[in-house]
Amino acid sequence: MGEAQSIQWFPGHMARTRRKISEDLKLVDIVAEILDARIPKSSSNPVLRDIIQRKPKIVLLNKSDMADPAQTSRWMSYYASLGEKAIPLESKTGKGVNAFYPAVREVLKEQILAWEKKGMVGRPIRVMVVGIPNVGKSSFINRMIRGGKAGKAEVQDRPGVTRQNRWFTVGKGFELLDTPGVLWPKFEDPLVGEHLAFTGAVRDEILDSEGLAARLLELLMELYPDAVNSRYKTQFSLEAGLKGYELLEQIGRKRGMLVSGGEVNTERAASTVLDEYRGGKLGRITLERP
């Protein structure tokens, strides 16, 4: 495969956000980390894991309707082996949202019993929701507030809590805390940045789209060659050892994306491949294995 493109962020508010989340952890009982089911590793923020440490945690594998179901099951087993409960969510339909409450209660079972022994029956469970940009955090919170339906949530101010903290009362006896700001890691591993770029979590303007589409095609040929061939009516084989750029050219030619002189418009072919992958037109695809 070609060279991964290195992507790095050095946001000034990183330290501030980090401090804020550390402070807010004292106010909650459990953390819900939202990941992209297609790239669970790359969409998990190592900085967050570092801050959360021993706090009880639940993993929400969002966009699972776009991911390979067999791989999602493998990821759930992987998290279980780490002692973490993971549940799949479908971003478009909201399917899986109802599993959230019982899953949280299961993780906090002993804590809830301890509260009841102290006479704190019905004490609300407070959940902090974390996730990197474009992973579906806001739409998850909105769905929870609206009882699983899509739509926009009203922000509520709570006395004694700073204004940047957004608390929402959801379900029966649950309160969600939306985390402030954005925590991008500085990507030590260029593959992480690249996987985020494939799914559209990172804006394309800062990347070379042809290079990105070529890399994506190489990865898809390793993991899902049939999906590529059936979508583009090609007969690529791994044995042929075609480079991503050659795959891109052939797809462009097949789709008639030619410019004067019969050359392939690879830029147009690249945006087609990226759009079709992101739009789920190549099927349900998971780019990372546990």
* Mean pLDDT across the chain: 86
Return the higher-pLDDT residue of 15 and 229: 229
Q: Rounded to whole angstroms, how far apart are CA atoms 66 and 194?
A: 18
Return the higher-pLDDT residue of 94 and 155: 94
pLDDT at 142: 86
pLDDT score of 159 more than 60: no
pTM for the complete prediction? 0.87
pLDDT tens per residue, range 47-80: 887 888 889 999 999 999 999 999 999 999 999 9
Strand partners, 32: 58, 129
C-alpha to C-alpha distances, 266 to 102, 121, 246, nearest whole angstrom: 49, 63, 10
Place of tokens 């474009």: 134
> CB within 8 A of 178, min separation 6: which ones?
129, 137, 138, 141, 165, 166, 168
66: tokens are: 């776009």
Phi, psi (degrees; rounded to nearest 5) at 169: -90, 125
pLDDT score of 168 more than 70: yes
- Do 174 and 168 touch, CB atoms closer than 8 A? no
Closest to 20 measured CA to CA, from 177, 168, 169, 132: 177
